[in-house]
């Protein structure tokens, strides 16, 4: 269930008062017969989750993602909805996301705050959001808006967070995106890119195939790696994959020759279409994305692996399960910065 309130002016103190009023109303909730339920409400908060999204994003889709995350990561969720308005627009509303665990009679509720802001009001957001974060708990900034990520105001918002999660899949300037991610890491904050998280299945698959074929000992030589991508330019994820492969193969003692080329079809958004790994006559591995899975040919033996389409929820859930710095990602990030 949801309870909602709205405000025409945005003052952190007013929003916090509205939250307090909301909890009182939830505690007094009545059933369909007008009787007080008496079951009570459990308030759960383990972090502050800030989601920065564009006006064009489907509110229901974003709301569903946040609601699903709350089941395992109870949070005070603050949604920053960015609108394309020439004037200065800043407004807010508060509500609660509640659910009844199976077999229980008491609801668990998490707080949600939605702040709508135009570009002219972006400079005001940090001073509004900071008092709304829960003291002494992690603050996660999920920047779903690639446009905000490229704006100068992003740095001040990022300064509020202990971990920044961006999605480099659709950024216009991969080089600039990498620079901003490294700047976040350099300031002592945790940082993640969902373009990297999408590669988990690819990385697991390559590792598993090489392990099953006991080919690691055959990689101490010159290894040729060829990655084909869709779209006119390779996406950040494609660069990350090349960097990770080069780093991993070099750890096995290989000398790596890496090439990233456009697929002949040229469709898609710059994602990985196929990967070829060859080491003389000893290793000939080819993986090709096809129909919701990956076709694998390893030294003449064919197989197939299914790749479920990742969702924002599954990607964020994976990133939120990483407790500290991701050394493998940071190594791939550093190499990607040198490659592009």
Instruction: Let me know whether 229 and 150 are in one domain.
Output: no
Instruction: Let me know whether 216 and 95 are in one domain.
Output: no
Instruction: Give the pLDDT score at 10.
Output: 84
Look at residue 19 and tell me if it is in a domain: yes
Antiparallel, parallel or unpaired: β 272-279 and 190-193: unpaired
Instruction: Let me know whether 95 and 243 are in one domain.
Output: no
The boundaries of the domain holding residue 208 are 200-306
CA distance 136 to 214: 48
Q: Which residues contact 111 (CB under 8 A, 6 or more apart)?
A: 19, 22, 43, 45, 76, 77, 94, 96, 97
Tally the C-alpha atoms within 13 A of residue 331's C-alpha that lie toward its C-beta. Answer: 11
C-alpha torsion angle, residues 255, 259, 260, 263 (rounded to 10): -130
Give the closest residue to 150 by CA, choosing from 82, 66, 86, 92. Answer: 82
CB atoms inside a 10 Å sphere around CB 334? 15
CA distance 249 to 241: 12
The two three-digit tokens of residue 262, written as one number: 């456009």
Domain boundary among 137, 161, 185: 161
Domain boundary among 161, 191, 211: 161
Look at residue 43 and tell me if it is in a domain: yes
Look at residue 245 and tell me if it is in a domain: yes
Instruction: Give the pLDDT score at 114.
Output: 94
Instruction: Let me know whether 140 and 215 are in one domain.
Output: no
DSSP per position, 23-38: HHHHHT-B-TTS-B--
Question: Which residue bears the tokens 């991993």?
Answer: 248
Instruction: Let me know whether 78 and 220 are in one domain.
Output: no
Look at residue 249 and tell me if it is in a domain: yes
304-328 pLDDT per residue, tens = 999 888 999 999 999 999 989 999 9
Q: How many domains does the chain have?
A: 2
Look at residue 78 and tell me if it is in a domain: yes
The two three-digit tokens of residue 37, written as one number: 């339920």
Instruction: Let me know whether 151 and 269 are in one domain.
Output: no
CA distance 82 to 117: 5
Instruction: Let me know whether 218 and 155 are in one domain.
Output: no
Instruction: Let me know whether 148 and 26 are in one domain.
Output: yes
Q: Which residues contact 202 (CB under 8 A, 6 or more apart)?
A: 241, 272, 275, 287, 294
CA distance 225 to 307: 22
Look at residue 326 and tell me if it is in a domain: no
Instruction: Let me know whether 128 and 262 are in one domain.
Output: no
- The list of the chain residues with pLDDT below 50 reads 1-8, 32-35
CA distance 110 to 243: 40
Look at residue 339 and tell me if it is in a domain: no
Instruction: Let me know whether 17 and 67 are in one domain.
Output: yes
CA distance 203 to 32: 52
Instruction: Let me know whether 130 and 229 are in one domain.
Output: no
Q: Given 3-state DSSP classes, what are the helix, strand and coil percentages for the chain, each rounded to the nearest 5?
A: 40, 30, 30
Instruction: Let me know whether 13 and 149 are in one domain.
Output: yes
CA distance 232 to 180: 24
Domain boundary among 131, 161, 191: 161
φ and ψ at residue 241, rounded to 5 degrees: -65, -45
3-state secondary structure of 168: helix
Look at residue 189 and tell me if it is in a domain: no
**Is residue 54 a contact partner of residue 82, using CB atoms and an 8 Å limit?**
yes
CA distance 205 to 244: 13
Residue 36: DSSP 8-state: B
CATH number of the CATH domain containing 204: 3.40.30
3-state secondary structure of 308: coil
What are the residues facing 36 on neighbouring strands? 30
CA distance 307 to 203: 12
């Amino acid at each position: 269930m949801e309870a909602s309130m709205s405000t025409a002016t945005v003052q952190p103190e007013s929003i916090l008062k509205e939250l307090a009023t909301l909890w009182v109303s939830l505690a007094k909730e009545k059933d369909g017969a007008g009787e007080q339920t008496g079951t009570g409400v459990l308030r759960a908060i383990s972090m502050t989750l800030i989601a920065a999204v564009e006006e064009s994003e489907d509110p229901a889709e974003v709301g569903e993602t946040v609601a699903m995350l709350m089941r395992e990561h109870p949070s005070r969720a603050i949604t920053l909805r960015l609108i394309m308005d020439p004037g200065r627009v800043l407004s807010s509303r508060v509500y609660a996301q509640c659910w009844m665990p199976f077999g229980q009679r008491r609801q668990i509720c998490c707080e949600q705050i939605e702040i709508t802001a135009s570009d002219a009001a972006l400079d005001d957001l940090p001073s509004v959001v900071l008092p709304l974060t829960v003291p002494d708990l992690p603050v996660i900034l999920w920047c779903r808006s690639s446009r905000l990520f490229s704006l100068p105001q992003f740095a001040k918002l990022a300064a509020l967070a202990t971990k920044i999660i961006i999605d480099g899949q659709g950024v216009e300037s991969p080089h600039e995106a990498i620079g901003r991610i490294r700047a976040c890491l350099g300031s002592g904050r945790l940082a993640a890119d969902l373009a990297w998280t999408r590669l988990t299945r690819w990385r697991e698959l390559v590792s598993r195939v090489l392990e099953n074929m006991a080919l690691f000992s055959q990689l101490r030589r010159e290894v040729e790696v060829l990655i084909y991508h869709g779209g006119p330019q390779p996406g950040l994820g494609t660069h990350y994959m090349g960097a990770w492969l080069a780093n991993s193969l070099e750890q096995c003692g290989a000398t790596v020759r890496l090439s990233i080329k456009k697929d002949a079809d040229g469709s898609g958004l710059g994602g990985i279409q196929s990967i070829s790994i060859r080491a003389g006559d000893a290793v000939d591995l080819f993986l090709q994305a096809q129909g919701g899975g990956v076709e694998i040919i390893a030294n003449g033996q064919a197989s197939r692996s299914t790749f479920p389409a990742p969702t924002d929820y599954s990607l964020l859930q994976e990133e939120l399960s990483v407790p500290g710095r991701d050394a493998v990602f940071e190594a791939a990030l550093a190499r990607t910065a040198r490659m592009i």
